[in-house]
Amino acid sequence: LTLFDEIAQVSKALVDAFDAEKINVAALGNQVPQLHVHVIGRYTHDAAWPGPVWNAGVAENVDQDVIGSRADVLRNVLNS
C-alpha cells in the first residue's frame, strides 16, 4: 500500500465508524521531524466548522477509557 492508499482506508473507516461528514487530511511537520499525517473526521456542528481545526475551540480532556473504546471501534472497522 502507498501512503495515499492508507490515508484513503483510514478516511473511509472514520466515516464508517463515526459517521464523519467530511474528512480533513494534513501533513504539517512543524514540531517533529518524522513524516506523519493527520486524518480528521469533521462534522458541521464541530467548534471550528467550516474552518481548520487547528487552534479552534477549547481543548477538552477525554477519558482514557473513551479513547481506548474509540480506538477499538476504528481498529475493528479497519480490520473488517
C-alpha cell at 20: 464523519
Residue spans per domain, the chain: 3-79
For domain 3-79, which CATH number applies: 3.30.428.10, 3.30.1700.10, 3.40.640.10, 3.40.50.620?
A: 3.30.428.10
Among 48, 6, 55, 3, which Cα is nearest to 14's? 6
- Over residues 50-68, the pLDDT tens digits come to 999 888 888 889 999 999 9
CA distance 8 to 1: 11
On whether the CB atoms of residues 48 and 57 are closer than 8 A, the answer is yes
The pLDDT value recorded for residue 6 is 96
- State residue 55's pLDDT score: 85
Question: Looking at residue 56, what is its pLDDT?
Answer: 85
Residues of the chain with pLDDT under 50: none
For 78, residues 6+ apart whose C-beta sits below 8 A from its C-beta are: 9, 10, 13
